[in-house]
Structure 1
């Protein structure tokens, strides 16, 4: 079985010290490709070299709501220019989104809409961050409709919210959250929506699975997440794996990238 970690920050300091070993462990478990999102202008620029050095890593450009500053409006314009120049090297726009627990919400909303516009212009999917902000994301999508779908990163929410995103052409990113029994609503979503609605992700080095709290998360934990999905589904393991892999390839157009 083959897998793709559709969201991991392999360029973060917590992982770079033993990145070769971590990627080798992942590959040995069948995880052959990785999507590494952007979080800031400076880091998005560095991802160009990172992606060239690690061909199994596919990159995206974005401004994460955690890292927005007074300069972010100007940086968004620069990010858009950079994305235009390197559009053939990108598989998505993001990580972007709205987080009600941090920063200036008006700024977040404005920049999120800029990301939607950029993704539409470049014909790319989006990687969307949310936290207690589904209603704000829906408002933005109503104002500027995303044309190429993408992934709702670390989806956590109700069946109704999940169905809304899927109807818009998005897939739901399943990570460590679903390994926790308390995530009842999200686990119900996994069991009830079509299997083609989901992709797997670790968010390494963050979002550890059950039993690994307090530890640095690593890509090989994708296998634990996959095992949890299988427990929540009725399809055979091989079918679950094949569908998740194929869905991720379609979202990010990875078949044309190798």
Structure 2
């Protein structure tokens, strides 16, 4: 893959402990692979300070050899036991201070055991209200809950929309998300031959509505399924997307990266 391509990894948990000890290496590898910018979603309040410090002072800060890191802050539905009422107040304060470019990772996950659907729904709506109050896009985690999510988004009608991370729904659901102003995130899952429906969607949906992601250290591609995912692999997602769509890697990289920048309100110079 041409390292001159400018890729944007729209979902990467570079602040997670698994990167301790080789985070600098991961960023260098990502830059060499053509990754110029990375969006880091927050998942629990206890880790927001670490994420923000990483974005403010990443390894190699000021060096052209490292991607730019952008923060998002949110409370993930898979960590309900870690979220406290006062965390919403903290999130409000941080958003009011302009500390994040998006609210996320937030959402609904009805796949996990004992998923507390009502509590997840309440937390989601509280965070959607904050996104609307501060005019920010959202980063959505949705598993086995697309109908519930779409019903909620129809009520909230967020002006800035957002990204449906690791999209896994139907074509009909994809079209509705797009109509509501959302981009759809595609990552390592499209590298698996068995993911026929998802690969067909990646090939047929309008490129202007797609973004690329890794979800590193999670969701590894098929060729690296036994090791932690890393941000450089967004270049490999691009390779798969290029094969599926029959379009040039340059066009796909440019358009998907521009999609993320537009959503976050970043200029082409960022």
State whether TM-score is above 0.5: yes
**Aligned partner of 1:63 among 75, 79, 104:** 75
**Aligned partner of 1:2 among 1, 6, 15:** 6
**Aligned partner of 2:264 among 249, 252, 258:** 252
**Aligned partner of 1:120 among 132, 137, 159:** 132
The aligned counterpart of 2:106 is: 96
The aligned counterpart of 1:52 is: 56
Counterpart Cα distance in 2 of 1:251 and 1:70: 29
Counterpart Cα distance in 1 of 2:11 and 2:25: 18
Contact persistence 1:157–1:185 (CA under 8 A): no
Q: Secondary structure at the match of 1:141?
A: helix
Counterpart Cα distance in 2 of 1:218 and 1:92: 22
Counterpart Cα distance in 2 of 1:41 and 1:168: 28
Q: Secondary structure at the match of 1:204?
A: coil
Give 1:242 shift. Answer: 1.2
Cα distance per residue 1:60-80 (max 9 Å; x no partner):
110001111275333223212
**TM-score, structure 2 length as denominator?**
0.90
Report the RMSD for the aligned CA atoms in angstroms.
1.5
Cα distance per residue 1:124-148 (max 9 Å; x no partner):
1100001101011112113322221
Contact persistence 2:164–2:184 (CA under 8 A): yes
Structure 1 unaligned residues grouped into runs of 5+: none
Q: Which range moves more in the overlay, 117-126 or 142-151? A: 142-151
Counterpart Cα distance in 1 of 2:187 and 2:107: 17
Counterpart Cα distance in 1 of 2:78 and 2:257: 29
Q: Does 1:42 align with 2:46?
A: yes
Q: Secondary structure at the match of 1:203?
A: coil
Contact persistence 1:112–1:140 (CA under 8 A): no
Q: Does 1:243 align with 2:243?
A: no
Counterpart Cα distance in 2 of 1:21 and 1:119: 34
**Aligned partner of 1:15 among 19, 33, 38:** 19
The aligned counterpart of 1:134 is: 146
Once the two structures are superposed, the pairs formed by residues 138-217 of structure 1 within 5 Å of their partners are 138-217=150-229
Q: Does 1:109 align with 2:113?
A: no
Contact persistence 1:159–1:186 (CA under 8 A): no
Cα distance per residue 1:166-197 (max 9 Å; x no partner):
11111001110111112122111111111111
**Paired residues, what number?**
256
